């Protein structure tokens, strides 16, 4: 099997803006704003202290560092060399214990065949790879029985195109133009199918909404644009 599951244009795109990861008023401002919501969603469902966590597509480490601060043993992986460089640099600045590695999930498994994790996070990443289903399957392979896994992505429908592409990238300038490719957006039903085929049981799906007038994000029932999924790998009883 070809272990590469990369869109090199996507990797290059994030390489070019890697230096902006920790500028909370720049291109990655939305990630800084939603991170407390993401962390809260995870820690309310999993006791993180002492847990071994893999953050797949960790970017500059915004989520990885927050999970580490809650007592987890975190490994963050990303395909972008420049991005991992920024993550490592920031980690030293704040004395974070996150272990960052520039690699793909497939290559990571090849290099660490016996590594298993209690929790895996893969947020805002699935819509940037050629085969998201294979990412989910690969994550399941290194998730311990009864382990917890979290995904977030963007729904594919006219409303999500209007809000996540036209609105966020071209009208409100929340994100750099070209950040997202609508054709790579993922319907919840598609994600649910990949979970089932990867021996993962969906536990909860929640939406992430945004009000441009108040510049406020919140979690709720609306999954028409951004949404998060919590699933579990049910061990044999």
* CATH number of residue 103's parent domain: 3.40.50.150
Return the pLDDT at 6.
84
Query: What are the two backbone dihedrals, phi and then psi, of residue 55, each rounded to the nearest 5 degrees?
Result: -100, 105
* Token pair belonging to 63: 């989520």
Q: Are 199 and 171 in contact (CB under 8 A)?
A: no
Beta pairing, strands 117-123 & 143-154:
parallel
The answer as to whether 30 is a domain residue is yes
* Distance, CA of 212 to CA of 220 (rounded, Å): 16
Across 104-185, the runs of DSSP E, i.e. the strands, are: 117-123, 143-154
Asked if residue 132 has pLDDT above 80, the reply is yes
| Mean pLDDT across the chain | 94
Look at the chain and count its residues: 237
The answer as to whether 3 is a domain residue is no
Domain containing 97 equals 8-232
The answer as to whether 195 is a domain residue is yes
Q: pLDDT digits over 196-221, tens only?
A: 999 999 999 999 999 999 999 999 99
Confidence of residue 230 (pLDDT cuts 50, 70, 90): very high
The answer as to whether 237 is a domain residue is no
* Distance, CA of 154 to CA of 137 (rounded, Å): 19
The answer as to whether 15 is a domain residue is yes
**Closest among 142, 130, 128, 114 to 58, alpha carbons compared:** 128
The answer as to whether 107 is a domain residue is yes
Number of domains in the chain: 1
Asked if residue 1 has pLDDT above 60, the reply is no
DSSP state string for 31-90 = HHHHHHHHHHHHHTTS--TT-EEEEET-TTSHHHHHHHHTT-EEEEEES-HHHHHHHHHH
Return the pLDDT at 2.
44
Asked if residue 154 has pLDDT above 90, the reply is yes
**pTM: predicted TM-score of the whole model, two decimal places:** 0.93
Asked if residue 33 has pLDDT above 60, the reply is yes
- The H-or-E segment that residue 188 falls in is helix 188-197
Strand arrangement, sheet containing 143-154: 99-102, 73-78, 52-56, 117-123, 143-154, 226-232, 201-211, 216-220
The answer as to whether 147 is a domain residue is yes
Higher-pLDDT residue of 231 and 176 is 231
Return the pLDDT at 12.
87
* Distance, CA of 196 to CA of 194 (rounded, Å): 5
The answer as to whether 2 is a domain residue is no
Place of tokens 């060399």: 81
Average pLDDT for residues 217-236, to the nearest whole number? 94
Return the pLDDT at 114.
95
**Dihedral sign, CA of 30, 36, 42, 44?**
negative
Q: pLDDT digits over 84-93, tens only?
A: 999 999 999 9
């Amino acid at each position: 099997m070809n272990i590469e599951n990369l869109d090199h244009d996507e990797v290059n795109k994030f390489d070019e803006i890697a230096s902006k990861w920790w500028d909370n008023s720049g291109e990655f401002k939305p990630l800084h704003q939603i991170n407390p919501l993401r962390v809260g969603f995870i820690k309310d469902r999993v006791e993180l202290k002492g847990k071994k966590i893999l953050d797949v597509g960790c970017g500059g480490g915004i989520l990885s560092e927050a999970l580490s601060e809650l007592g987890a043993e975190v490994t963050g992986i990303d395909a972008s060399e420049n991005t991992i460089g920024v993550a490592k640099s920031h980690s030293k600045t704040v004395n974070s214990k996150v272990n960052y590695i520039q690699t793909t999930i497939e290559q990571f498994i090849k290099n660490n065949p016996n590594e298993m994790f209690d929790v895996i996070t893969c947020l805002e990443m699935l819509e940037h790879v050629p085969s998201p289903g294979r990412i989910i399957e690969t994550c399941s392979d290194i998730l311990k029985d009864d382990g917890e896994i979290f995904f977030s992505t963007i729904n594919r429908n006219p409303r999500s195109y209007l809000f996540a592409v036209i609105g966020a990238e071209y009208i409100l300038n929340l994100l750099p133009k070209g950040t997202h490719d609508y054709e790579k957006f993922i319907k919840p039903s598609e994600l649910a199918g990949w979970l089932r085929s990867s021996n993962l049981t969906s536990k909860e799906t929640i939406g992430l909404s945004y009000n441009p007038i108040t510049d406020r994000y919140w979690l709720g029932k609306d999954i028409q644009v951004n949404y998060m999924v919590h699933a579990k790998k049910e061990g044999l009883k």
